[in-house]
Amino acid sequence: MQVQIDQVKLGVKKAMPIGMGYLPLGLAFGVIAQSTGLSPVQVGLMSLFLFSGSGQFIAVALMAAGAGFNVIILTVPLVNSRYFLFSATLSRYVKKLPLWCTALISQGITDENFVVATAHFRDHPVRVDFWLALHITSHLVWVSSTVLGSLVGNFIPDMERFGLNFALPAMFIALFFMTASNLKGIFCGVVAGILSLVILYGGFSDVNVILATIISATVGVVINKWIPGS
């Protein structure tokens, strides 16, 4: 496949808003990880190979609580079980790609990259150069921000004071409206949000996202059948 520079630039461009959301979260993670005794190198390696904000925060919290290795290994995949849903959706895009491309793309899947990629591919052909540029750029921002947080985190003022802690939720709100192209999509998204909160406060914090997604997706299939069109 011939690499097209314009596709690489487009992938980098679309990764920039994701990176802006990752930056404060990565800094916060670096500070927390440092306080639990992880070195900047260890923080960087965790961000490189795990690349999961929620998974990394959970892992560090378990380390701080003195949990064993086996507990961490079992808990992190459970927290990230929503990626099974992402992978099922993306399978139609990667089935014709070489195995090495699929492996690289799979490593870079996050909530944000998933939304941006699927929204882009609704109106554009699947391009590996675009996809890899999107993933690599956002991944580099995440790794560098977590390492920076572990190095200078103690000198960063309280991020909540400046509202930076809202950067990631704000990005998710924007991503939602990128994909909710009609009223039915918005309705299903609202249902998913409400269900997630209900399940969360019902004591099932580990599975609230995936359960809410499955239920709201089922609701979406039903109303799509009953109410055809947009």
Q: Work out the angle at residue 56's Cα, subtended by the Cα atoms of residues 55 and 58, and round it to the nearest 5 degrees.
A: 65
Question: What are the tens digits of pLDDT across the range 14-26?
Answer: 999 999 889 888 9
Question: What are the tens digits of pLDDT across the range 151-201?
Answer: 986 676 565 665 655 655 665 676 677 666 678 778 888 888 899 889 888
pLDDT confidence tier of residue 206, bands split at 50, 70 and 90: low
What CA–CA distance (Å, rounded) separates 68 from 75? Answer: 11
Tokens of 103: 């492996």
The H or E element containing residue 1 is none
What CA–CA distance (Å, rounded) separates 194 from 208? Answer: 10
What CA–CA distance (Å, rounded) separates 56 from 36? Answer: 12
Asked whether 184 and 224 are in contact (CB, 8 A), the reply is: yes
Cβ neighbours of residue 101 under 8 Å, at least 6 residues apart? 94, 128, 132
Residue 39: per-residue pLDDT: 92
Asked whether 223 and 184 are in contact (CB, 8 A), the reply is: yes
Q: What is the dihedral of CA 18, 19, 20, 25, to 10 degrees?
A: 100
Q: Supply φ then ψ for residue 80, to 5 degrees.
A: -95, 20
